[in-house]
Chains A and B, each alone.
Chain A
Amino acid sequence: MLFNSIEFVFFFIIVTSLFFILPHKYRWFLLLVSSCYFYMAFVPIYILILGFTIVIDYFAGIYLEKTQGPNRKLLLIMSLIANIGVLAVFKYYNFFNDNLTSLLYGAGYKNPIPYLSILLPIGLSFHTFQAMSYTIEVYRNHQKAEKNFGIYSLYVMFYPQLVAGPIERPQNLLHQFYEKHEFDYTRITEGLKLMLWGFFKKLVIADRLAIYVNSAYNYPEQQTGLTLIMATIFFAIQIYCDFSGYSDIAIGTARVMGFKLMTNFNRPYFSRNISEFWKRWHISLSTWFKDYLYISLGGNKVSIPRWYFNLFFVFLVSGFWHGANWTFIIWGAINGFYLVFALLTDKLSTRIVDITGLDRHKKLLSFFNIIITFLLACFAWIFFRANSVKDAILIIKKMATFKGPLHYENPSMLIFSFFGISVLFFYELKHEYYRNSFSLMNNPNWLVRNMTYAVMIILILLIGVFDGGQFIYFQF
C-alpha cells in the first residue's frame, strides 16, 4: 500500500482509531495484522519471504543468547547468510547472471544458467537489514533475545517503516511495543504535522520534479546540456523530497501512535562537506553501515591506507545495496572517492583557506562549501538516476557543453516546480539557521496555525501530482 494513496488514508484512520480503542495488551496484535495487510497490498505472496527471515532470525536470536563459545559466531554467520541469501536470490541473482553472460559471451561461450523471472519484493533491503541488526545486536550482547514471536515479527514488520525505513535498531524499537501509549494531543498533532509536511514534499515537490527529470533522463540523447543540468539539479531535490517525505510520513504515522522512530534526514543539502552530508542523509542506513560494517572492518583504528580502503569499500557496498546495477555501484564508488579524496587533501584545503583569507569570512566560506558539496552530490546523482552507465556518460558529456535551449513542456510545469523548491528552501533554511524565529506550523495563534495546515492541504489538492506513483526507495 502506498502512503500517497486514498487506501492509505482509510487504513491509517482505521488502524489508529482501533489502536487507541483497544486495550494495551491487544495493540501489538492489531499492529501486526495491519502490517501484514499493508505489506500484502503490494504482492501478497512475498509475505512468505518476510516470514522466512523472521523465523530464521527469531530462533537465531534465542539460540545466540543461550549459546556460548565459537558456536555463537557460527550461529550469527548462519543467520546472516540466510538473510543475505534472500537478498542475493531476489535482488542480485539476475545482475550476477547478466554479468556472467557478458563475460562468457566475450570469451565465446554461452551462459547455461537461466534467468529468474521474479519481481523484487518491495523494501526487501530495508527489512532484511533491520532483521540483521537484531541478530548482530543480540550477538554483541547489546540486546536481549525477544521471546515473544509476535512482538519480534512486529519489530521487522511495523508498517510505518516496513518498506522504506528508517532502518530501526532493536534497542530503539522493541521495547516500545511493550510500553503503553496514551492518547496525547501534543504528540498526535506533532505526528500529523510531520505527515502533512511529508505529503507536501512528496506530492507537490518530488512528483512534480519527477515529470521533468523523467522526460530528460529517459531520453538523454534528445536533450540539450542545459536541460540535463536542470534535470540533474531537479533530481537532487526530487530524491530528497521523495525519500525524506516518505520518512516524514513514516515517522509521523508512528508518532501519532506513540512510537518514536529514528530521524532519517537532517537537511543534508546544508552540509559543508561530503562527510557531513552522509551524517545527514539516510542516517539510519549510514549508521547501519558504520555500526555493522565499517567498525567490523576496523574503522579508522587501522593503518591509514586500510582506513581509506574501509571507507571506500563501505560506500561501494552501500551503492550495491541500493540496486543491482553498475550505476549504483559507481554512485557508491564516487561517494567513497569523495571521502577519501577529502581526507587526502585535508591539509591542502586548510592551507588554501588560510592563504585566500576565507577563514576570516566564515559565512562566505560556509556558503561556498555548501554549494560545492551540493554540486558534488549532484554529480554522483547522475549515475544514481541514469538508466545505464552509457546514458550517464552521455549526460555528463552533454552537460559539459552547457548548450541550450532549456526544454520545458509548458511554463506552468516550471512555475509549479520553482514554487515547490522555494517553499522547501525557506522551510529548511528556517529550521537550519532560524529555529526559534517566527513559525507558521507551530505558531501560538490557533488560527494562523490551522490556516497554515489548511493552505498546505489546499496546495496539495491544487498543484500536487496525484499520478506520481510509488516512492523511489521502494525499489531498494
Chain B
Amino acid sequence: MENKLIGKLKSNKYLYFFTKLFLLFLIIFVLDFSIGKTLRHFYFTQESGWQYRTTYAMENTVADMIVFGSSRANHHYHPEVFEKRLPFEYYNAGRDGSYNLYHFAVLKSILKRHKPKMVILEFGKEEFKKSQVGYDRLSALLPYYKTHPEIREILDHKSEAEPLKLAVSQIYPFNSSIFTIAIGNAAINKTRRGDIKGYVPLDKTWNEPMKTIQSVPAYDVDTVSVWAYESFLKECKLASVPVYVVTSPYFERSALMDTSMQLGKNIAGKYDVPFFDFSQDEKLISHPNFFADHLHLNDKGARIFSDFVIDRILVEKMDYVTQKK
C-alpha cells in the first residue's frame, strides 16, 4: 500500500517534489515552533543579565527616575549617589551598544504604564552618525514585538521584512540568545556580573595617555536617529516628565564640538530641555583614575560624575523656581 503510494507520487515528478518539500517544511515548522516557544518562556523567566534588565525596565520598573542611553549611561550614573541626594527611587535602563531608536522604544513601553518623576538621557558624540549598527542592535527588542505593540513602529525601522520574519519564525526573535537565556536563568550570572538597580560598575583603571582631538570628523547624519531623539524628548514633554540630556566625560581633549552634539543641543533647546555637557569638564577628565577606558568612567569616576550631574540638576531646578517666582 505504502509502496504503491510512493510509486504513484514518483510518477508525477512535481507532486513528488512538492509533497517531500511540504513534509520538510512540516518538520521545520514543528521544530521552530517548539524551540521558539521554549526560548520565549525561558527568556522571560530570566532573573539576571542584560536581557532581564531590558524586560524589567519595559515591564516592571516603577522607579521615580530612570536613566536611558548606551553603555555610557549604564556605567556612569551611580544609583547610590542619586538615591542619597534626591528623593527618588532609581533605575538604570541603559544598555551597552544601544542607540536612539532603542532608547525611544524602551521609553514608550515605560510611559505606557508608568510616569517617572525624572528621566536622564545620556547623549554621546557621533550619536546621529549614519550607521547600520544602530538598526542591527534593535534585535534586542525583537522578543517584545508581539507583546508590545507600542514599539512596532520603531522596530520596523530595522528592516521592512521584520514583521514577516517574526510571523514566519518563532526562533528568530531569540536568534543568538540561547546561551544568554540559559545563563540568565542560572544563578551563576548574579555572582558573575552583578548590577545595582540596572547600573553596572566598571572596575578597571585606564592607563593610556589622553588623546587630543584636532579635528571633528565629517559624517552623514541619520535622520531616523534624529527623529528618535526628538521623539524621545517630545514624548517626555507630552507626559510631563522632566527630562535632562547629559553628555558624560570622555578621556580626551577637544576644543571642537561634534556635529551630533551641536544638533542634539539645538533640538533639546527647541523643547526647553536642559542639556548638560560634561564631555570636556576638566574636574573629571584630568583624572585618568576616574576612567575604565577612553569612553567609560569606572565606578569611582561614576560616583563623582553623578554628584556633578545632581548639582547641575539642582541648580537648574532652582533657576526654574526663581524664574517662576
Asked if residues A467 and B132 are in contact (CB atoms below 8 Å), the reply is yes
Asked if residues A412 and B179 are in contact (CB atoms below 8 Å), the reply is yes
Residue in chain B with minimal CB distance to A458: B31
B176 in the interface (beta carbon within 8 A): yes
Asked if residues A458 and B28 are in contact (CB atoms below 8 Å), the reply is yes
A6-B161, A462-B35, A467-B132 are contacts. A457–B179 as well, Cβ < 8 Å? no
Asked if residues B13 and A185 are in contact (CB atoms below 8 Å), the reply is yes
Residue in chain B with minimal CB distance to A415: B179
A463 in the interface (beta carbon within 8 A): yes
**Closest-CB distance, A22 to chain B (whole angstroms):** 15
Chain B residues 150-167 with CB under 8 Å of chain A are: 161, 164-165
Asked if residues A465 and B161 are in contact (CB atoms below 8 Å), the reply is no
B44 in the interface (beta carbon within 8 A): no
A450 in the interface (beta carbon within 8 A): yes
Stretch in B16-24, B77-85, B242-250 with 4+ CB within 8 Å of A: B16-24
**Closest-CB distance, A191 to chain B (whole angstroms):** 12
- Selected from B14, B17, B20, B32, the residue in CB contact (under 8 A) with A461 is B32
The 6 closest A-B pairs by CB, nearest first: A412-B179, A467-B136, A6-B161, A461-B171, A454-B27, A454-B28
A226 in the interface (beta carbon within 8 A): no
Chain A residues 398-413 with CB under 8 Å of chain B are: 410-412
A183-B14, A185-B16 are contacts. A416–B31 as well, Cβ < 8 Å? no
**Closest-CB distance, B142 to chain A (whole angstroms):** 10
Q: Provide the bound-state CA to CA distance between A457 and B165, in Å.
A: 14
Q: Provide the bound-state CA to CA distance between A462 and B174, in Å.
A: 7
Residue in chain A with minimal CB distance to B17: A185
> What is the size category of the interface that chain A forms with chain B?
20 to 34
Given the complex, which residues of A lie within 8 Å of B164, measured CB to CB? 6
Given the complex, which residues of B lie within 8 Å of A467, measured CB to CB? 132, 136, 139
A183-B13, A183-B14, A466-B175 are contacts. A461–B169 as well, Cβ < 8 Å? yes
Given the complex, which residues of B lie within 8 Å of A469, measured CB to CB? 132
Q: Provide the bound-state CA to CA distance between A188 and B17, in Å.
A: 9
Asked if residues B175 and A464 are in contact (CB atoms below 8 Å), the reply is yes
Asked if residues B176 and A454 are in contact (CB atoms below 8 Å), the reply is no
Q: Provide the bound-state CA to CA distance between A451 and B20, in Å.
A: 12
- Selected from A5, A185, A410, A462, the residue in CB contact (under 8 A) with B178 is A462
Contacts A/B (CB < 8 Å), 11 sampled: A6-B164, A183-B14, A415-B179, A450-B24, A454-B27, A458-B28, A462-B171, A462-B174, A463-B178, A466-B139, A466-B172
- Selected from B27, B139, B174, B178, the residue in CB contact (under 8 A) with A450 is B27
- Selected from A6, A7, A415, A453, the residue in CB contact (under 8 A) with B165 is A6
Residue in chain B with minimal CB distance to A459: B171
Residue in chain B with minimal CB distance to A467: B136
B180 in the interface (beta carbon within 8 A): yes
Given the complex, which residues of A lie within 8 Å of B176, measured CB to CB? 412, 416, 462-463, 465
Q: Provide the bound-state CA to CA distance between A437 and B64, in Å.
A: 65
- Selected from A6, A453, A455, A463, the residue in CB contact (under 8 A) with B175 is A463
A6-B161, A467-B132 are contacts. A450–B23 as well, Cβ < 8 Å? yes
Q: Provide the bound-state CA to CA distance between A411 and B192, in Å.
A: 12
Chain B residues 165-215 with CB under 8 Å of chain A are: 165, 169, 171-172, 174-176, 178-180
Residue in chain B with minimal CB distance to A463: B176
Q: Provide the bound-state CA to CA distance between A454 and B171, in Å.
A: 13
**Closest-CB distance, B325 to chain A (whole angstroms):** 52
Given the complex, which residues of B lie within 8 Å of A188, measured CB to CB? 17
**Closest-CB distance, A326 to chain B (whole angstroms):** 23
Instruction: Report which B residues bind A (CB closer than 8 A).
Output: 13-14, 16-17, 20, 23-24, 27-28, 31-32, 35, 132, 136, 139, 161, 164-165, 169, 171-172, 174-176, 178-180
Asked if residues B172 and A461 are in contact (CB atoms below 8 Å), the reply is yes
**Closest-CB distance, A215 to chain B (whole angstroms):** 12
Residue in chain B with minimal CB distance to A411: B179
Q: Provide the bound-state CA to CA distance between A461 and B24, in Å.
A: 16
Given the complex, which residues of A lie within 8 Å of B32, measured CB to CB? 458, 461
Given the complex, which residues of A lie within 8 Å of B165, measured CB to CB? 6
**Closest-CB distance, B136 to chain A (whole angstroms):** 4
Asked if residues B24 and A453 are in contact (CB atoms below 8 Å), the reply is yes
Q: Provide the bound-state CA to CA distance between A464 and B13, in Å.
A: 33
A185-B17, A466-B175 are contacts. A457–B28 as well, Cβ < 8 Å? yes
Given the complex, which residues of A lie within 8 Å of B175, measured CB to CB? 461-464, 466
Q: What 0/1 readout, one digit per residue, does chain A (174-202) give for beta carbons within 8 Å of chain B?
A: 00000000011100100000000000000
Residue in chain A with minimal CB distance to B30: A454
Given the complex, which residues of B lie within 8 Å of A454, measured CB to CB? 24, 27-28, 31
Chain A residues 3-53 with CB under 8 Å of chain B are: 5-7
**Closest-CB distance, A308 to chain B (whole angstroms):** 45
Q: Provide the bound-state CA to CA distance between A462 and B27, in Å.
A: 16
**Closest-CB distance, A134 to chain B (whole angstroms):** 35
Asked if residues A458 and B171 are in contact (CB atoms below 8 Å), the reply is yes
Q: Provide the bound-state CA to CA distance between A465 and B136, in Å.
A: 10
**Closest-CB distance, B9 to chain A (whole angstroms):** 11
Given the complex, which residues of A lie within 8 Å of B179, measured CB to CB? 411-412, 415-416
Q: What 0/1 readout, one digit per residue, does chain A (434-476) give for beta carbons within 8 Å of chain B?
A: 0000000000000000110111011001111111010000000
Given the complex, which residues of A lie within 8 Å of B16, measured CB to CB? 185
Q: Provide the bound-state CA to CA distance between A411 and B179, in Å.
A: 9
**Closest-CB distance, B250 to chain A (whole angstroms):** 16
Q: Provide the bound-state CA to CA distance between A461 and B16, in Å.
A: 27
Given the complex, which residues of B lie within 8 Å of A453, measured CB to CB? 24
Q: Provide the bound-state CA to CA distance between A184 and B175, in Å.
A: 35
**Closest-CB distance, B71 to chain A (whole angstroms):** 12
Given the complex, which residues of B lie within 8 Å of A464, measured CB to CB? 175
**Closest-CB distance, B50 to chain A (whole angstroms):** 10
Q: Provide the bound-state CA to CA distance between A462 and B32, in Å.
A: 9
Q: Provide the bound-state CA to CA distance between A6 and B159, in Å.
A: 10
Q: Provide the bound-state CA to CA distance between A466 and B16, in Å.
A: 32
Chain A residues 377-393 with CB under 8 Å of chain B are: none
Given the complex, which residues of A lie within 8 Å of B178, measured CB to CB? 412, 462-463
Given the complex, which residues of A lie within 8 Å of B171, measured CB to CB? 458, 461-462
**Closest-CB distance, B20 to chain A (whole angstroms):** 8
Residue in chain A with minimal CB distance to B158: A467
Q: Provide the bound-state CA to CA distance between A457 and B23, in Å.
A: 14
Q: Provide the bound-state CA to CA distance between A188 and B20, in Å.
A: 12
Given the complex, which residues of A lie within 8 Å of B27, measured CB to CB? 450-451, 454
**Closest-CB distance, B162 to chain A (whole angstroms):** 9
Q: Provide the bound-state CA to CA distance between A451 and B23, in Å.
A: 10
